[in-house]
Structure formats: structure tokens, C-alpha cells
Amino acid sequence: MNVGIIGLGLMGGSFALAMKKVYENCRVLGYDHNDQHCIEALELGIADRITDELEEFSNLDLIVLAIPVDGIVAVLQELTFVSGHTTIVDLGSTKKLIVESVPPSIRKNFVAAHPMTGTEKFGPGAAQEDLYRGKAVVLCDLEESGEEQRSLAKKLFGDLGMKIFYMNAEDHDRHAAFISHMPHALSYSLANAVMKQENPRAIIALAGGGFKDMSRIAKSSPNMWTDIFRQNKENLILAIECFKGELERCEELVIQERWEELHQWMGKANGLHEIL
């Protein structure tokens, strides 16, 4: 399989390593605006060759867009020359705006995917060949993709050991706002609130596992997450408002010393772990 990876950081690099592990004769052509990423990708065996010409992607079997979501929208406009058999898969965390932006001439080529995986680290050095294994991937509006492209996407993600789910793009973005995007907003907020109130010495001395778990994703790339928040603005605002309502409820119960109700409120939250 001849694969092109646009974006050689955590997601794209991990995808390339996973493909090489699963498919013996997989060859990867890499593309990235960051020259250092290109150098590292070659050194780490993520890419077999690097190009700065998108035209070289015209006859590949698979093109993977592993760049920030605004970049995905822009690059799709430049890929209208690809052959009819090529499959284009994006790995973006939002879907509706991306799907709507696909040029009609390559809509059959395109598969909208969101692998529910990642870490707070970025760059080729963060790539892991098992990042995708055992994780979920959501394929959106798959009926609009070509038959060849649908089949390849299902086989590909299955071979990588992923659990496949199907949704329309609009539903995906609403669910992702609550389950993925809002938690990032909360983590950034928590980190900023603590840094404004506490000196570094106190943070080092008192920050335990709970704080580290909740603040970990605040290390995620601001460039990537600004784009995600912009593309999913309305759903994110709804999710934040719902969270604010629960936080205000907690504040009210504490101020009024309604401890039994607070206990019940916490108990209701415990139910989430029965689902997870």
C-alpha cells in the first residue's frame, strides 16, 4: 500500500508506524510544513520519503490528513487532482465543517474519521505504533463516500485494531463537544486558575494524582485546540453552559451547607463509571 501522510506529528506519525507494522509492504510519503518534523520523521522511520509537492499524492492508495482542523479544510481544496481510486481520510476532532468543505469532485474519495485517541504530547517524537490499537474510531456520513473508499476505511481501521462506530457529522460534533472538547476547556481553565492563585512551590508540594490527571491535557497544543474550538463553537458553548450549571449547583449546596443533597449529587455522578 502506498500511503501519503500530511502532518507528521503525534497522530500522523503514529498512524504511519501502525500502518508499517500491519502492512508489510507499506510505503509512506510524508508532507509537513515544519522542516524539523520532516527530518525527525525520516530519522524515526515514520516516512520513507518526504515531499513538499502535493501533486506527488495524486496516485496514492491512501492519503491521511493528520493536521489541525482548519488545515484539513484548506488542504482538501488542493487535492482535487487525486485519482478516482484514492481514499482520503481525515483524523480531525470536528466533522461537520470539514465534511461540508469537501470539494464535490472528490467527495467520493473522502472518508471523515475521528479516532478517539491521542496524548497531550506532539511532534514526531511523540508517535507510538500502538496509539490506535483498542481505541474507538467514529466514521461520519459514510454513505456519501465511494464504495471502494468505504471498504478500505473499514478494513484499514479494523486491521489497526480499532472499534468502529458510525454517526452523522452533526451528531458527532455535539457528542464530541461534551466528551472531548469541553474537558479540554476545563483543563485549560483549571491550570490558569491555579497558576493565578498559587505559587510554584505550593503547586509542586501539594499537586497530587487528581490534580495532575485533570490538568494533564492542558499541555495539549493551543494551535490545534484553538482551531477545534472555533469549528465547534456552538456545541462547545452549550457544553460549557451545562457544566457551569452543575458547578453552580455544587457551589450552592456548599454555601447553604446542604450536605446530604451534596452527597446525593456526588453519588449521581458516580454513575458515570458504570458506563465507562
**pLDDT, tens only, 156-205:** 999 999 999 999 999 999 999 999 999 999 999 999 998 888 887 888 78
pLDDT in tens, 194-245: 888 888 788 878 888 888 888 888 988 898 899 999 999 999 999 999 999 9
pLDDT for position 150? 97
pLDDT for position 119? 81
pLDDT for position 40? 95
Q: Residues 6 or more apart from 242 whose CB is under 8 A from it?
A: 178
Query: 3-state SS of 46-92?
Result: CCCEECCCHHHHCCCCEEEECCCHHHHHHHHCCCCCCCCCCEEEECC
pLDDT for position 120? 75
Q: At 68, give phi and psi (nearest 5°).
A: -55, 155
Residue 276 pLDDT greater than 80, yes or no: no
Cβ burial 254-276 (10 Å sphere, 16+ → b, else e): eeeeeeeebeeeeeeeeeeeeee
H or E element: which one contains 255?
A: helix 233-255
In terms of DSSP H, where are the helices of 77-208?
Answer: 96-101, 147-159, 169-176, 182-197, 200-206
pLDDT for position 210? 85
pLDDT for position 215? 87
Residue 85 pLDDT greater than 80, yes or no: yes
Task: Please give the grid coordinates belonging to residue 230.
Answer: 472555533
pLDDT for position 64? 98
Residue 151 pLDDT greater than 90, yes or no: yes
Picking from 128, 78, 85, 86, the residue whose alpha carbon sits closest to that of residue 103 is: 78
pLDDT for position 202? 83
User: How many Cβ atoms are within 10 Å of 135's Cβ, its own excluded?
Assistant: 16
CA distance 240 to 5: 34
Q: At 161, give phi and psi (nearest 5°).
A: 85, 25
Check: CB of residue 160 under 8 Å from CB of residue 77: no
Residue range 20-44: mean pLDDT, rounded: 95
| pLDDT above 70: percentage of residues in the chain | 100
Check: CB of residue 67 under 8 Å from CB of residue 7: yes
pLDDT in tens, 100-145: 999 999 999 999 999 999 887 888 999 999 999 999 999 999 999 9
Q: What are the distances in angstroms from CA 96 to CA 20, 93, 140, 172, 180?
A: 30, 10, 9, 8, 16
Burial (Cβ within 10 Å: 0-12, 13-18, ≥19) of residue 9: buried
Domains defined along the chain, listed by start: 2-167 (3.40.50.720), 172-275 (1.10.3660.10)
pLDDT for position 122? 84
Question: What's this model's pTM, rounded to 2 decimal places?
Answer: 0.88
